[in-house]
Amino acid sequence: MNNLKKEKKQFISDFKVGSIADTIFVVSKKQIRKKKNNEDYCIVTLQDKEGSIEGVIWTEVFRNSDDFSEGDFVLVKGDIRQYRSSMQLVINSISKIENKEDIEYSDFIRATKKNIDGMFSEIKSYIDSIKNSYLKELLDLYFKDKKFVEDFKNATAAVRYHHAYRGGLLEHTLVVTKICNMLTGVYDNLNRDLLISGAILHDIGKIREYKTGVTIKVSDEGKLLGHITIGYGWILEKIKKIKGFPRDLSERLLHIILSHHGQKEFGSPRRPKFLEAFIVYHVDHMDADIGGYNIILEESKDGEDWSGFAKNFERSIYLKKLKLINENEENTDNKINKTDENNLNQNKKILNQPDKQDELF
């Protein structure tokens, strides 16, 4: 393509039914399908930093389009229509962008909105708080390795559904770790070192399960083994490098990894069998649900009370904002915020947490 100004003019969040699309996307999925009369048409998932939208390229347009693949940048023109409960882009023309020099990649990569280095230093402070020398050495083998740190910071927690963006694994791991830490102040018969280590390491297999580039793909290793098995093997490998690592501690930590999805049908070869494993499972599940809800909320349009059918929840989700009776009284909100702030400060004191912004509450 010649003379193309490769700047992104529209983002997915700008679209509503009736909009005309004329902008660049990256193709995250391409499926060629057959109509009843055996003619080909194409369904594509188009992505930018705001999210993704499904597009359909009917036979005539598809026949005359450039050949493109998943991961390619394309200039798309078309109309936004309603299709079942979602928006769909009916594509009138699609052309591949061959020269990517002027592409601003950050316009197309979905990434955490939180500060990656800030979150990482919070993880490091949890690691520094671990007293057990074996667990500390194990965590240092990972978190003092530059390549691992870079991969961990960039990793996604999923292809879709929850924390499915660059930095998503770090964001999810930090919240799971924070909540687990908080629970050590609620239940007094927990081993904090084991729980925090399990929380930090529970999903590290995802670093190898997914390939996070402009689009997110599952690696061959991920397809064949999955992150639970990858994590188990990887951690065991590291444990073997640590002289005298107690067998009981090793088995317990590995059990947390193997059981953190809770049920065999959700990919856990073992179900949780002691307190720290129960807690990592419940907290992980909770944060995955909350992350999943937030993605649905973000991708929904203003004014929608219900989402379409959400596959991960197997139901529609209620998105309508709660209106409080007293919401016009300015002081009410302030009062609530003040109480939350007091509770937060109280909790921080109890847990002896570093005084950092706590996203948990």
Residues that bind Fe ion (CB under 5 A): 203, 284
CA 337 to chain centre: 28
Q: C-beta of 111: minimal distance to Fe ion in Å?
A: 19
Nearer to Fe ion, 276 or 284 (CB): 284
Shortest CB 157 distance to Fe ion, Å? 6
Integer angstrom CA distances of residue 321 from 237, 290, 302, 318: 48, 16, 10, 9
Q: Of the two residues 55 and 226, which places its CB atom closer to Fe ion in the complex?
A: 226
Minimum CB separation of residue 63 from Fe ion in Å reads: 43
Question: How far is it, in rounded angstroms, from Cα 45 to Cα 25?
Answer: 9
DSSP characters over 204-222: TTHHHHEEESSSEEE-HHH
Q: Which residues pair with 241 in a beta bridge?
A: none
Q: Which is nearer to Fe ion, 48 or 276 (CB)?
A: 276
Q: Are 230 and 222 in contact, with CB atoms under 8 Å apart?
A: yes
Judged by beta carbon, residue 78 or residue 262, the one nearer Fe ion is: 262
Angle at 242 between CA 239 and CA 244, to 5 degrees: 105
Q: What is the CA radius of gyration of the chain?
A: 23
Taking the complex as a whole, the smallest distance from the CB of residue 229 to Fe ion amounts, in Å, to 11
Burial 141-159 (b: 16+ CB within 10 A, else e): bbbeeeeeeebbbbbbbbb
At 95, give phi and psi (nearest 5°).
-130, 140
CB of 231 to Fe ion, least distance (A): 8
Taking residue 223's Cβ as centre, other Cβ atoms within 10 Å add up to 10
172 close to 291: Cβ distance less than 8 angstroms: yes
Supply the minimum distance, in Å, between the C-beta of residue 337 and Fe ion: 30
Give the nearer residue to Fe ion in terms of CB position, either 50 or 203: 203
- Considering beta carbons, is residue 48 or 284 the nearer one to Fe ion? 284
Cβ-based nearer residue to Fe ion, 49 or 270: 270
* Measured CA distances, 153 to 29, 94, 122 (Å): 25, 34, 12
Q: Which is nearer to Fe ion, 173 or 307 (CB)?
A: 173
Specify the amino acid at residue 238: K
Minimal distance, residue 167 CB to Fe ion, in Å = 14
Nearest distance in Å: CB 219, Fe ion: 15
Question: What are the structure tokens assigned to 81, written together?
Answer: 């229509």
DSSP string covering 186-207, please?
Answer: T-SS--HHHHHHHHHHTTTTHH
